[in-house]
Amino acid sequence: MTANVAGRREELGHTLIPLALAAGVVRKKVYDDRRVTTGGLEGDLNMLACFVAAMIPLYEYPPEPSGPARALNRSEVEGGVFRNGGRELRFINGRPAKYNLAVSANDIAAIVALLKDPEHSTRILSRFARRRAQEAKVWSERLIEQATELRREARQLVVHARAAYSDSSSEAPVAAAARKVSATAPADRAIAATPRLT
């Protein structure tokens, strides 16, 4: 069976880098560490973090280290102001600040290209959108395969359960069915919510 949604989250987690680090990489590649704003290094990183967050999906890690990252909706970011070199996103309307922000390292090239060649931003964004669409298509195909496999296993479970109930032995029917299924089906069948591709 193909990788499940939890596997997708683990794969995504391996490509994420802190937003502040991404802003620093963009500053180095585009401006060669030259000053961009009048706010010094921290001001530069805050400005670039804002640009990055506006152009590509932004993720947030939960406070507990073992939790998976979650894609943020635009509404969750709007009205925020980056501080501390892109490490914090604060809101003037009293909403709680966000700290553990990240972006996909695979998306940084699009940001660098946009800043280096703004005249061709439409073409660059189109190329980026096509790549995102291809990734979404591949993942949707995997989910379809997984759903098919889960339906097959559900049918198999029904067959085993019926056989167990018709068994005249003294063994509990449900326990017998569970043992028969566990002998043939992989253990991990949990499906978690997939990160939204925006």
Task: Find out whether 12 and 193 touch, Cβ atoms under 8 Å.
Answer: no
pTM here?
0.57
Helices (H), 64-120: 74-77, 108-116
Helix (H, G, I), strand (E, B) or coil at 128: helix
Which candidate, 82, 108, 85, 99, places its Cα nearest to that of 17? 108
Task: Give the pLDDT score at 63.
Answer: 77
The per-residue pLDDT of the chain, averaged, comes to 77
Beta-sheet pairing, 88-91 with 16-18: unpaired
Per-residue model confidence as pLDDT tens digits over 41-73: 999 999 999 999 988 889 998 877 677 888 899
Label residue 18 by pLDDT band (50, 70, 90): very high
Per-residue model confidence as pLDDT tens digits over 28-40: 989 887 888 888 8
Q: Where do the domains of the chain lie?
A: 5-116, 137-184
Q: For residues 37 and 44, what is the distance between their CA atoms, to the nearest angstrom?
A: 5
Higher pLDDT, 138 or 111: 111
- Partners of residue 71 on adjacent β-strands: 59
Per-residue model confidence as pLDDT tens digits over 124-137: 667 776 776 666 66
